[in-house]
Structure 1
Amino acid sequence: MNTKERKSGYSMIELVIYISIIAVMAVLSVQAMLSTTRVFAEIKSFVNISEGGVIAIERIIKEIRFGKSIDYAETILDINPGRLKLNTTDENGNAKTMDFYTANNSVNIIDNGVDKGSITGSSTVLTSLVFRQSTTSKGMLVKIEMTIKDTRETNPRSASFYGSAVLRGAY
């Protein structure tokens, strides 16, 4: 009687090759997911910094443009942390003040004696705020230099923001 042995399954070499291919694919998949997560965190950090800086700069510039004069008694110019107190008017023409200052690592605002809190955002830290004043042919110019960093990143990023505006209420 002639019996043939039937071989079924995989040889040892085939198993090693298949397992190696699956392992390489798994490692590449994990690396791709980690890379995507890292890129997402970097984008989120950039957005946090940009939103905090742009909102603060735009608000300060807007109030400078409405300003009539600078209250030099309470303003700190040319050093960090700076403070800017503007004499201005409300929508009814009544005198009021706008005060921008640094507290708890953020830019804060006091509107006519009422503390309105931070205007930079909760996930960012203000590292520098400097106000500079110049005189131009159009009137008084205020320059703003501000540096903000993100607090949620393991490798924190920072960005500097610059702006300037003329006190239009003065002329």
Structure 2
Amino acid sequence: MYLRALVFGLGLTFVAAVASDREALARGPFDGKIVTSQKRIPVSARSQKAYYAKLRKQSSKKFQEDTDKKQWKVYFAAFFKKPLNDLEVTIKLYDVTDRKQPHLRASFEQFLDGRGQTSLVSYVKLERETFGVNRRVRMTVENRGRVLAETTFEILGEAEKYSGKVDFSEEETQGQ
């Protein structure tokens, strides 16, 4: 009887080890991360390995400004470490260029299709007035204060050039 209990206990240990290995295999290389791209994120592929290869090839960390619209369009895919038992996440964008403390620039809610999702594919438009130019931005996807995925990327563009030359009217120079 003592031997039977020992064998049963070892059997449970083995089953738990196999289950945790399956979970590790099911997790992808992007879990807890956000992949950013200048093009639409693919939503399917022949296999999981092919999908990850597409994402790696398409991912980008630097985005050029659309000078006509004065904005950046950033496509992203956020991958969670475990299925989310909620329908809403918060996306936060921080300026982390030259501050020790990140400065929150924007925050908005995003709704998921259903409970149990492990990823979110979407895009965001960043306005020049809000974010400035040539900045580092940290994006987080959060749920109830817990960070599910994050990344950092750069938004690039031509900064406004100032000549330092000032023209005053005659009224202004005479103090009127």
Scaled by the length of structure 1, the TM-score of the pair is 0.38
Would you tell me which structure has more helix in proportion to its own residues?
1
Larger radius of gyration: 1
